A and B are shown apart, each in its own frame.
Chain A
Amino acid sequence: MNQSNGTGGLSRRHFLATAAATSAALTAPAVLGQARPRVVVVGGGAGGATAARYIARDSKGAVDVTLVEPTRTYYSCFFSNLYIGGFRDFASIGHTYGALAAGHGINVVHDWAVSVDRDARSVGLAGGGSLAYDRLVLAPGIDFRPGSVPGWDLSQQNRMPHAYKAGSQTQLLRAQIEAMPQGGVYCMVAPPNPFRCPPGPYERISMVAHVLKQSNPSAKILIVDPKEKFSKQGLFEDGWQRHYAGMVERVGPDFGGDKVEVRPEAMEVVIDGEATKVDVCNVIPAQQAGRIAALAGITNEAGWAPVVAHTMQSREDENIHVLGDASQQGDMPKSGFSANSQAKVCAMAVRGALTDSSVFPARFSNTCWSLIGTDDGVKVGASYQATDEKIAKTDGFISEVGESAELRKATYEESLDWYAAISGDIFG
């Protein structure tokens, strides 16, 4: 996309008029007279914390921002695989909310949102009480779809961890891998599309292989995968061949990867009727938007919350914006980078609607790095624009097989800087 017009052509009115799907922002003047417009953000992850920070920072106190997040320390899924691989310590992927409260005056409430009353415009909290809003931002991430892997439910997550929400699950998975018997089997039940972080499961395989190659070289890694293809497949398979030859086996849908069941008590994985005993079973179930989105009544049959690309507003309710993994927006992968990018567009739209700040055309981007082995990093990235229908990809790139070791190392080092930068951009 080439925005060749300068800001002269980008007045707020002009832009809103072109964003046909968004009649919502036109109601803005209704709240302008009020004391301080109130924004409630549910979920203090990559999307929600960024949105809270940008709205509070850029409105310089003109908007009252409350962030609702149950945990006091957010452990990022991004780089959690590197912790499993021994490249990061656990503390380095933990982030707290002190800077958002102190630096930007955000009211951080450590609680669960349990209901949304859209008519009264208020959010109910598990601890009792409610929060009134003019705009609500929902960024609750994902939940697992019940029943997607027969035999598995959340009550089994200690025997068969998902480690797909970071925290104690991630530590548990690493401990189980370390405790595997020599020559044992690690099995991953990979999720169907769409799911958070398309390269995530396969970066994890790389990190598990990296650890086992050192401590348990005769161990085997089995991936049971319902998908024909996966993200950066050529790059990962080339890397597994080079670093971990003979360790990784993948069972795709042709061989029953889509017909899998687990027996947690027996530590068995049943693939197309045939049971295999494994030592670690990492079940990553099918996913949907975090439950609060469904409770708010803004999700579709697939379990995601459709949004208007220009503003990230829910297609069901113009006073609610949905960000990150929970949203169904179009072409962007569900990543921390995407959630952070969407949050900035959302923050601008929310400020434009509640104050008289300028509104510019939405633009989005994403880059996902993955680590395959020591100093062997790859990346994929794209830029996106808003259309009336969806967030549409405009251009992209991906690392290539056969790149020099130097370039792969530089790519890995970039990812270290990216992690530091995005963490600061999200949490202040």
Chain B
Amino acid sequence: MFPSRAGPAARAPSRPLAAGLLALLSTAGAWGADDGRGGALYAECKRCHQAGRGAEHRIGPHLNDVFGRRAASLEGFPYSPAMKAAGAGGLTWTEATLDAFLADPHAFVPGSRMSYAGLANREERGELLAWLRGFSGAGSDLPPAEPTITPEEYGLDPQLLTISGDPEYGAYLAGECTTCHRYDGSDRGIPSITGWPLEDFVIALQAYKRAKRTHPVMQLVAGRLSDEEIAALAVHFRNLADEP
């Protein structure tokens, strides 16, 4: 099974990685200077970020050449106002700032949309950063970027991704979601769903709808949404990132 969102169990630093999750570490897993643990830890970032040749922005911005980069400085990614303010205030990603950010993203950048609880273990953070550094300054040596998510992982018909959504209808339907989902990302129970790529959003909701991803609330919510309604919501929440 594909890993669901990091639950509290998955947040424990000494968490054993699910076998299925390890299986997902393909080519890139073997690549890099470390002993492979950094790559395994990076698996958790991969459902939102891409790194490698051809990496694109997904739920999070791509992580190529992140070392030395000013926070919130990439074109074309809808950063949160909080992250933009941090960048404008001079935050640059270095070993030290990344370490602090990944230890507790919401303490380091309050109001960030990154829904990640943090990695408490300092050694693990070191290994993760060593792995990540492999994607900085490597130029054309990079392995190809891996997709964050594919419909096949959940046995979904790729046609579902081609349905176009009506943003006005999406805005109305979104009223049901904003009782629980805030604009910013949470490290607690309910993640941010703003500014996602359409595909990732549709796949997540379709997976709940078809019980390929289990969570009682979200299965109930998605269970009664039609494919068109899911598409409409995806467009709405994508657009919302531009006007918080």
- Complex CA gap A365/B173 in Å reads 11
Contacts across chains A and B counted by CB atoms under 8 Å: 109
Residue A401 lies at the interface, judged by CB distance under 8 Å to chain B: no
Residue B104 lies at the interface, judged by CB distance under 8 Å to chain A: no
Closest to A399 in B: B216
Residue A367 lies at the interface, judged by CB distance under 8 Å to chain B: yes
- Complex CA gap A416/B166 in Å reads 32
Closest to B175 in A: A344
Chain B neighbourhood of A3, CB < 8 A: 224-226, 229
Contact B179–A395 (Cβ < 8 Å): no
Contact B172–A413 (Cβ < 8 Å): no
- Complex CA gap A172/B24 in Å reads 56
Chain B neighbourhood of A402, CB < 8 A: none
Closest chain-B Cβ to A2's Cβ sits at a distance in Å of 6
Residue A409 lies at the interface, judged by CB distance under 8 Å to chain B: yes
User: Which of A348, A410, A415 lies in contact with B172, CB distance below 8 A?
Assistant: A348
Sort chain B's interface into a size bin: 20 to 34
User: Which of B171, B183, B221 lies in contact with A365, CB distance below 8 A?
Assistant: B221
Which of B62-70, B136-144, B185-193 participates in binding chain A?
B185-193
Closest chain-B Cβ to A203's Cβ sits at a distance in Å of 18
Residue A155 lies at the interface, judged by CB distance under 8 Å to chain B: no
Contact B224–A418 (Cβ < 8 Å): no
Contact B188–A394 (Cβ < 8 Å): no
Give A370-389 as 1s and 0s: 1 = Cβ < 8 Å from B's Cβ atoms. 00000000010111000000
User: Which of B166, B220, B225 lies in contact with A395, CB distance below 8 A?
Assistant: B220
Contact B188–A416 (Cβ < 8 Å): yes
Other A-B pairs beyond A7-B228, A381-B217, 15, CB < 8 Å: A6-B228, A54-B175, A341-B179, A358-B168, A360-B169, A363-B173, A365-B179, A365-B221, A395-B223, A413-B8, A414-B217, A416-B189, A417-B189, A417-B190, A420-B186
Listed by A's residue number, 5 A-B pairs whose Cβ atoms lie within 8 Å are A341-B175, A365-B220, A397-B219, A413-B188, A421-B181
Residues of A within 8 A of B (CB): 1-7, 10, 54, 58, 337, 340-341, 344, 348, 358, 360, 363, 365, 367, 379, 381-383, 394-397, 406, 409-411, 413-418, 420-422, 424-425
